[in-house]
Structure 1
Amino acid sequence: MIKTIIFDFGDVFINLDKTATIRELSLLGKTSNFNEIETVNNQYEIGAITTPDFIRFYQGLYPKASEKQIINAWNAILLDFPKHRLEFIQNLAKNHEYKLILLSNTNELHINWIKENITFYNDFKSCFDAFYLSHQIQLRKPESDIFEFVLQQHKIQPHETLFIDDTKENTNGASRLGIHTWNNDPRQEDITNLFTIKSDLF
């Protein structure tokens, strides 16, 4: 029986355009430093580098770009947050039937954008028993230590836990610890259909 549900944020609640940042950056110039970009992006997601240092890195790659252009390109991935998904998690929270946890790979710039543009962000956050952002806990999916951290922090059992994420490598990471998973396809599936799609677990 599932007692705890762990949710991803992007493409589970807020819609993303995962190609947007690369597309917007390409308008600012050309670079072939892709390995370094991935390394720096991952460091930023675990809070290992500051936002000013992160922006300076990208300005080094795109010297003609302003700070605002870099930030806008970085945040271009973020789209809308459909209200029906907020209502879904609010109703779930009211029932007090499950422990609800959010576990997101994210960063300071993205969260700042969300706080400024998603008017009900605080209402959304208040639905969860715990709200973990990778840059704040210095851990990121799909590494096993982030899932172990959540399990230990809340004294929950893997076989009583469901983890929902749109990225296959993340759900694979959770599965290796015995956690039930739903690798949702945001093009065809919606979190509001959770109890229909994963009815075998409830």
Structure 2
Amino acid sequence: MIKSIIFDFGDVFINLDKKATANLLNTELLKNRDVDIEEINKTYEVGKLTTEAFLNFYSDIFTETTRADLKNAWNAILQDFPTYRLEFIKKLKTEYDFKLILLSNTNALHIEWIKNKVPFYEEFKSCFDAFYLSHEIHLRKPDTEIFDFVLQENSLEPQETLFIDDTKANTDTAKALGIHVWNNNPEKEDVIDLFRHKKELF
């Protein structure tokens, strides 16, 4: 029986366009660099690189792009947050007895954008018993450590926990720890249909 549900944020609640940033920048400039670009992004995502240092790094590459345009390009991945998903999580909070947890790989620039653009962000956040963002806890999915942290911090039993995420690498790690998973496809599935898609767990 499921007692706790851990939700991802992007492409579960807020819609994403994962190609948007690359489409707005001349990505040819990223090729043949001496540094690992992906590693820089991950370092920023776990809060071990300041926003200033992160923007400085990309400003040195995209020399003809303003910092404002860099920020806009970086945040372009973030799309709309349908209010019906807010209503869904509010209903879970008020009508059921689940422990609700959000676990997201989210960096400082993205959460700043969300706070400014999503008028009900605080209301959304208040629906959760715990709200973990990678840049605040210095851990990220799909590393095992982040799931161990959430399980221990909230005294969760893996077999009584469901984790929902659109990225298979993340749900694979959780599944290996004995957690029930739903690797949702945002193009075909919606979190509000949770009880239909995972009815065998409830």
TM-score (norm 2): 0.97
Structure 1: unaligned runs, 5 residues or longer: none
- Seen in structure 2, the aligned counterparts of structure 1 residues 35 and 82 have a Cα distance that, compared at 3 Å, is farther
| Corresponding residue SS for 1:30 | helix
- Seen in structure 2, the aligned counterparts of structure 1 residues 34 and 95 have a Cα distance that, compared at 3 Å, is farther
Partner of 2:139: 139
Q: Pairwise mapping of residues 1-202 of structure 1 onto structure 2 (< 5 A)?
A: 1-26=1-26, 30-32=29-31, 33=33, 36-202=36-202
Give the Cα–Cα distance (whole angstroms) in 2 for the partners of residues 104 and 138 of structure 1.
11
Structure 2: unaligned runs, 5 residues or longer: none
Question: How far is the alpha carbon of 1:26 from its aligned partner?
Answer: 2.1
Root-mean-square deviation over aligned CA pairs: 1.2
TM-score (norm 1): 0.97
- Seen in structure 2, the aligned counterparts of structure 1 residues 160 and 35 have a Cα distance that, compared at 3 Å, is farther
Give the Cα–Cα distance (whole angstroms) in 2 for the partners of residues 34 and 3 of structure 1.
47
Among the aligned pairs, what percent are the same residue?
Answer: 57
Question: How far is the alpha carbon of 1:126 from its aligned partner?
Answer: 0.2
Question: How far is the alpha carbon of 1:34 from its aligned partner?
Answer: 9.1
| Corresponding residue SS for 2:78 | coil
**How many matched pairs?**
201
Give the Cα–Cα distance (whole angstroms) in 2 for the partners of residues 34 and 104 of structure 1.
29
| 8 A Cα contact 2:175 2:181, kept in partner | yes
The one-letter code matched in structure 1 to 2:30 is T
